[in-house]
Amino acid sequence: MYADFFDFITDYVGHMKLVNGQTISDYIVLDEVDISEKRHLCVHVQTHDGPVMKLCIWDKAASNFCQKFKSYGGTPSVLLVTTVNPKHIGGTLALATMSSSRVFMDADVQPSKDYLEWLSSNWDIANRVAAEVVTKPEIVTLGEIFSYIKREDSSVALFECTETIDDVVQGSAWYYISCGGCNSKAIKGPTSLICNSKKCGKREVTGVAQYLTKISVYDESEQAVFVVLGDAGKELTGKHASELVASYFESNAGVDVDHCVPVPQALLDAIGQKRRFIVKPIEHLEEKANPSRGFEDAAGDMVGKASERLESREAKRPKSG
Tell me what pLDDT residue 5 has.
35
- Rounded Cα–Cα distance for residues 250 and 113 (Å): 49
127-177 confidence digits (pLDDT tens): 877 776 666 666 789 998 888 778 766 555 667 889 999 999 888 889 998
Written as one letter, the residue type at 118 is: W
Say if residue 289's pLDDT is above 70. Answer: no
pLDDT greater than 90 at residue 113: yes
Stronger pLDDT, 202 or 225, i.e. the higher one? 225
User: What integer pLDDT is reported at residue 283 of this predicted model?
Assistant: 52
The candidate with the shortest Cα–Cα distance to 180, out of 241, 227, 239, 228, is: 241
Q: Which CATH architecture has domain 9-126?
A: Beta Barrel (2.40)
CATH number for the domain running over 138-310: 2.40.50.140
Is the per-residue pLDDT at 284 higher than 50? no
Is residue 192's pLDDT more than 90?
no
Q: Tell me the percentage of the chain whose pLDDT exceeds 90.
A: 29
Residues of the chain with CATH 2.40.50.140: 9-126, 138-310
Mean of pLDDT values over 109-122: 92
pTM of the predicted structure, to 2 decimals: 0.57
Q: What is the pLDDT of residues 203-250, one digit of tens each?
A: 778 888 989 899 999 999 899 988 888 778 888 899 999 999 999 999
* Long-range CB pairs of 201-205, under 8 A, 24+ apart, other chains included: 205/179, 205/180, 205/181
- pLDDT of 270 reads 94
Contact 166, 270 (CB under 8 A): no
81, 194, 309 from 9: Cα distances, Å: 11, 21, 13
Q: Look at residue 175 in the predicted model and tell me its pLDDT.
A: 92
**Contact in structure between 47 and 14 (CB atoms under 8 Å):** yes
Lowest mean pLDDT across 118-122, 192-196, 269-273, 315-319: 315-319
DSSP 185: B
| Between residues 40 and 296, the one the model is more confident about | 40
Identity of residue 292:
S
Mean pLDDT across the chain: 78
Tell me, what's the pLDDT at 179?
83
Under the banding of pLDDT at 50, 70 and 90, the label for residue 58 is very high
